Structure 1
C-alpha cells in the first residue's frame, strides 16, 4: 500500500484533505456544491456533521503504536512487550497507566493479567530433568519455561499451545496453559516459541488488529479488502469516508452512517427489523391502489408525491391521503398517533398496537431506503433527458448541471430522513418528541417538494429549484443541530 497520510489541516495547505466535507467521489450524497465562489466559513461551527480525521496506512499506524509503546516503556522502565499488554488493556491511555502504576503497581499488573492474583509457590527442584504436565514427557529442565505465574511447561507444548490459539484467531488474549490461570502471554514470550515464519506473521497480524480495535482513536475501514485505518483525536459517532475505497461509515461503531440515530439505537432497530422481517414483508410490495379510482399503481421513482396516470389524482404514497393536505403547515404523514388509552387495554390489544407502531416506522424507513435506490434510476433518466435537450440546442451541459447538484442534495436529505424513523420509534412521548416529529415532518415535506420538481424538471426555473434546495438543506441541518448527539 502506498504510504500517504490524508489529514485535515487548519490552514487548508494539505494536498489531500479528509474531513467530512471532502474526499468524496462524484456520486457521494454529500458532494453537492461548488464552494469556489462562496465565502469560506468555519464548518466546525456551522455543520453539525463536521468531523476531523485522518486516513492512515498500516505502516503509519504501526509507527504511531510503537511510539506510544516507547513512551510508556521509557516512562515506567519496563519492556516494550509488557507496555503493549498494559496499553491494550487500558485503551492506550498512557497517563492513566502511569498514574495507576505509581499508585499501586501490583494492583495494575494483576488487573491487567500480567501477574497472578496469588503468589505462586516457590520450588526448590534442582533436578536436571522435569516432567511436562501436558505431554507427560521427562525432559531436561533447560527446555521448560513459565510466565510470571511460574507454571512450567516444555518448549514444544508452549509452541503447540500458541499455534492452536493463533489458528483460532486469538493473539493478545492467549493465556497460560495451567488450569484456571489467567496470566497473559506477552508478545516477546510468544514470538520466542514460534519458529515457523508463517505463524509469526499470522500472530503479528492478529496482534496488530487487536491493538487497532482497542485504540479509541483508531478504526479499520469496513470497506471490503481495504487496509486503511481511520484516526480521529475526538472519537465520535460521526460520518467518516475512506479516502481509498470511499466507504462511508460511522466512526464510533463502524456501521453505515446513521445520524441522527445513535449507535446503540440503530443496532436495536436493525436487530428488530431482522427479527420482524417476515411480519413486515407484506408492506414491502411495490404496488398500491389509487385511493380515488382504485387502479393499481407501481412506484417507479423516489418521490412520494404520486399522480395517478388514470384519473390524475394527486396523493401520498405513504398514507394515501390527498397531497394537498401535505402542503399544510403541519405535515402529518410521518407522525405516529399513539393511543392514549392503550395502557388500559388488554395484552392482545397492546401487542397489536405495538405491531402497528413498529410497522408505521418500518414502512417509512423501508420506503426511503427504496426511494434512494429508485432515485439512482431517476438520475439516469435525468441524464438522458438533459442529453436530448442539449442535442436539441436547448442549452448546454453546463446549463443543466444544477439539476445533478439538486439530485445529489435530494439523496443527502433523504438519507438523513431515513434514519430519523428509528430515532423517533425509540423516543419517549413528550415535548421533545413533538418537536422532533415537527422538524421531521417539515424536512419530509421539503424533500418531497424537491423530488417532485426534479423529476418533472422539463422547464424548471433554476432559481425556484435552488431555493427549494436551500430550504430542504436548512431543514436537514436544523434537525441535526437539535438532535444529533455529539
Structure 2
C-alpha cells in the first residue's frame, strides 16, 4: 500500500465527529459572535449525556481499528481522545501506538509461561505467585500484555487498594518497574466487591472527563454538570445549573485578560506575600484636604469628603478635578530606571514596592466588587420604593440594574488587568496596555459615580456612559486577550 493510500485510508472526515459537539441551544449569530472578544460557544451536559458521548467515541474507534472497547477506551484516554490521530498512528505502527499508550511494554521480551520457571522439585501444575508466595493452579493466574503473572487474589487485592486510594485509570501491573496499564475490563473482572466496582467506574469516568480536552467539570459545589466545547480556550463559562463562572481552560475563576499560567503565578505570590500586604487592606484613609478619617462604603474610587466636600481619588489621594488627565499616572507603576545599579537591598525594596502597587489595586477592585453587590441591593430597594410611589414601573427602572451589572462586569475585567501588567515586560506594548487600562478605569469610576446618584432624568447620560465603559473593556480585551 502506498503512503498516499495509507494516509487517505486513515483519514476520517471531521464532520463525522461534529455530531458529537453540536449544541442543543440556539447558536449565536456570526456577526455578534465576532463582535465580542469573549464570545465562546459551549454547552452544559449531564453525566448521562457525557457517558453516552464517550461510549460512542469508544465504539467508533473500536470499529475503526478492530480492538476491544476496553482497549479503545484506554487508547483514547492516554492519547488525548483524537480519533483521527489515533487511527493514523495505529495503522502506521500498531505496536508503537500500544507502547505509547502503555498497553504493551517497550520491548517484546514477554516472560515465558510460569510452568517453565518452576524448580523440578515443585509441582509444575501449581506455580507460586511472586506476591503472596502461595502455590495456585495455573488457571488461577492472570497477566497483562507485559506477561507478568500473578494470582487472581493478589490482582483483586491490588485493585481494591488502588481504588480505595482514588486511583483508577492509572492502575498498572504489579511487576517491578513495569508501566503497563490495566484495561477496564481486566480490572472489573477481578474486583468482586460491588462498592469497589462502583467506585472504580466513578473514578474512571472522572479521569476520562479530565483527560478529554473538550470537557471540563463545573467547579461549583455539589454540581455534576460537565461543560463541553469544541474549542478548548481560556474563555468564560457560566454553568447553567449552579451559575458558577470559571475559565474553561484551567477551571479556576475567569481571569481575562491574564492568561492561565500568569494568574496561577500571581495567586501563588499573593498567598505567599499575604502577611506583607496586610497593612494595605485597611478600609479607611484620611481626607487629603481636611485630614478627617473616611471609610469607603461603595465601589466607586471617586470619593467626596462628607466634612469638607473635597473630591479626591481613593487610590492615589489626588484631586479628582484634575484626575481625568492624570489617571494614567495613577494606575501605572513608575519603574526606577537606575534600579539595576542599586544595591541588592534597594532592588528588593523596589520589587516589594512594585508588587504592592499592583496588589493594592487588585485588592481594591476586589473590595469594590463586593461593595457594589450592596449597591445593587440598594438599587433594587430604591426601585421598589419608586414603583410603590407610582414613579414608573420596574421596566422603567431596569436600566439601573443593567448599569450595575455592566459595572460589575467591567470592574471584574479591570481587576484582572493588574496581574497581567505586573508580569509584562517594559516596552511599547506595556505602555499601550497601561493606557487602555487607565482609560477603562476612568470610565468605570465615572459609571460607578453616576449609578450611585442616578435618577430617571439621568437615564440617557447613564446609558451613554455604559456604552463608553463597555467599549473600553472590549477594546482592551481584543488587543490583549490571549486564548
- Tell me the secondary structure at the aligned position of residue 300 of structure 1: coil
Gaps (5+ residues) in structure 2? 1-18, 117-123
- Tell me the secondary structure at the aligned position of residue 328 of structure 2: coil
Aligned residue pairs, count: 457
Provide the C-alpha distance between the structure 2 equivalents of 1:320 and 1:58, rounded to a whole number of angstroms.
53
- Superposed CA deviations along residues 311-335 of structure 1, whole A, max 9, x for unmatched, are 1111000111111122227532111
Partner of residue 112, structure 2: 122
- Tell me the secondary structure at the aligned position of residue 280 of structure 1: helix
Do structure 1's residue 440 and structure 2's residue 430 form an aligned pair?
Answer: no
Partner of residue 195, structure 1: 192
Deviation at 1:458, TM superposition (A): 4.4
The structure carrying a bigger helix percent of its residues is 2
Match of 2:283 among 266, 286, 290: 286
Match of 2:240 among 234, 240, 243: 243
Deviation at 1:178, TM superposition (A): 1.3
Partner of residue 225, structure 1: 222
Deviation at 1:387, TM superposition (A): 3.2
Match of 1:160 among 157, 175, 179: 157
- Tell me the secondary structure at the aligned position of residue 148 of structure 1: coil
Provide the C-alpha distance between the structure 2 equivalents of 1:66 and 1:8, rounded to a whole number of angstroms.
17
Partner of residue 173, structure 2: 176
Q: Aligned runs of 1:206-355 on 2, under 5 Å?
A: 206-328=203-325, 331-355=328-352
- Tell me the secondary structure at the aligned position of residue 329 of structure 2: coil
What do you get for the CA RMSD once the two structures are aligned?
A: 1.8
Gaps (5+ residues) in structure 1? 22-39
- Superposed CA deviations along residues 132-169 of structure 1, whole A, max 9, x for unmatched, are 11111111111111111111111111000000000011
Match of 2:418 among 416, 421, 427: 421
Do structure 1's residue 430 and structure 2's residue 420 form an aligned pair?
Answer: no
Taking structure 1 as the reference length, the TM-score comes to 0.91
Deviation at 1:8, TM superposition (A): 7.5
Change (3 A) 1:41 1:194: closer
Provide the C-alpha distance between the structure 1 equivalents of 2:377 and 2:264, rounded to a whole number of angstroms.
33
Partner of residue 460, structure 2: 463
Conserved 8 A contact 2:111-2:148:
no
Deviation at 1:221, TM superposition (A): 0.7
Deviation at 1:386, TM superposition (A): 3.1
Provide the C-alpha distance between the structure 2 equivalents of 1:200 and 1:309, rounded to a whole number of angstroms.
67
Deviation at 1:460, TM superposition (A): 4.7
Taking structure 2 as the reference length, the TM-score comes to 0.91
Do structure 1's residue 49 and structure 2's residue 46 form an aligned pair?
Answer: no
Provide the C-alpha distance between the structure 1 equivalents of 2:21 and 2:397, rounded to a whole number of angstroms.
34
Provide the C-alpha distance between the structure 2 equivalents of 1:463 and 1:405, rounded to a whole number of angstroms.
13
Deviation at 1:245, TM superposition (A): 1.0
Change (3 A) 1:8 1:44: farther
Provide the C-alpha distance between the structure 2 equivalents of 1:242 and 1:60, rounded to a whole number of angstroms.
16
Change (3 A) 1:286 1:197: same
Greater RCO (CA < 8 Å, at least 6 residues apart): 1
Instruction: Identify the range of structure 1 (417-426 vs 328-337) with the bigger mean alpha-carbon deviation.
Output: 328-337
Deviation at 1:396, TM superposition (A): 3.2
Partner of residue 450, structure 2: 453
Conserved 8 A contact 1:6-1:55:
no
Match of 1:61 among 34, 50, 56: 50
- Tell me the secondary structure at the aligned position of residue 285 of structure 2: strand
Change (3 A) 1:41 1:330: farther
Q: Aligned runs of 1:346-385 on 2, under 5 Å?
A: 346-385=343-382
- Superposed CA deviations along residues 10-55 of structure 1, whole A, max 9, x for unmatched, are xxxx6x55x7x8xxxxxxxxxxxxxxxxxx7722210000000111
